[in-house]
Amino acid sequence: MRIAVSACLIAHPYRYNAQDVSSDRVKVLGKDFELVAFCPEVWAGMGVPREPIRFVKSGTGAYLLRSSDGRALYGRIKRVVLEFLKRNPDIKVFILKSKSPSCGIGSAKVYEHLKEEAFSGRTYGVLPRELKRRNVLMVEEDSVADPDFIEALYALKEFYTRKDAASFHRDFRRFLMKVSPYVCSKLANLTSRPNDYEKLLILLLKRWIRLRRLQKGEDKHRK
Ligand code: SF4
């Protein structure tokens, strides 16, 4: 199973300041999964090192601007994000770097002004904004330490490896019942329709991981 990963989590240099922020926990997943590195900013030709970018508040929304000169960069980064998603329709799991204006999942700061450090909220980066509209599992790097996420990840891997919803459902029924007895019974009726089964399975895992994190108080950045 292929997993898209913010490139800076598994290699460097990618960060704007060329700092190494790679994570051993994420890297170790490469033993069991195919990790596909993607850096929206480097793919957009912004280079390393580069001037940092930030969301700056504007009315009810925010612009994504280069800190040094206020150049708007949202459209440029969004283009490479859409191209990546178009080229990799099979990728259903994304592990993304927190707090980044390109990759952060509700954790990117929204600054009051281009040149000041005061910020008034947090938002989704360019990539997760696109992913929100799709039926995929997306988490930030700290989730890799979460046993619930890891359990969901390996269950999903088993689903794709078997390519047989009926056998998966039979052998993972106990896990699915733990996640949601109601959805488990719905899935039971979809084993002959693998595409529908896959969609509901991902939706279920996505909601479960989010719920578990909220229950454990680990979604502090999200609103
Ligand atoms: S957080 Fe995203 S945009 Fe920033 S260096 Fe990592 S992969 Fe690139």
H or E segment to which residue 55 belongs: strand 53-58
CB distance 14 to ligand 1 below 6 Å: yes
Distance CA 190, CA 183 (A): 11
pLDDT at 223: 42
Q: Is pLDDT above 70 for 220?
A: no
What percent of the chain is predicted at pLDDT more than 90?
A: 92
Q: Tell me the mean pLDDT in the region 153-158.
A: 97
Query: How many angstroms is it from 134 CA to the middle of ligand 1?
Result: 20
**pLDDT (average), residues 145-158:** 96
Ligand 1 centre distance from Cα of residue 99 (Å): 10
Token readout for 42 is 């480097």
- Atom index in ligand 1 nearest the CA of residue 127 equals 2
Q: What is the pTM of this model?
A: 0.95
Q: How confident is the model at residue 151 (pLDDT cuts 50, 70, 90)?
A: very high
Ligand 1 pocket, residue 7 CB under 6 Å: yes
The response to whether residue 23 sits with its C-beta less than 6 Å from ligand 1 reads: no
Give the residue-averaged pLDDT of 146-160: 96
At residue 208, the pLDDT reads 95
Contact 9, 26 (CB under 8 A): yes
- Kindly tell me if the per-residue pLDDT of 77 is higher than 60: yes
What residue ranges do the domains of the chain occupy? 2-143, 146-215
Interatomic CA distance for residues 96 and 93, integer angstroms: 10
DSSP per-residue letters across 90-113 = T--EEEE-TT-TTT-SS-EEEESS
Q: Is the pLDDT score of 128 beyond 90?
A: yes
pLDDT in tens, 159-211: 999 989 999 999 999 999 999 999 999 999 999 999 999 999 999 999 999 99
How do residues 11-47 score in pLDDT, each as one tens digit? 989 999 999 999 999 999 999 999 999 999 999 999 9
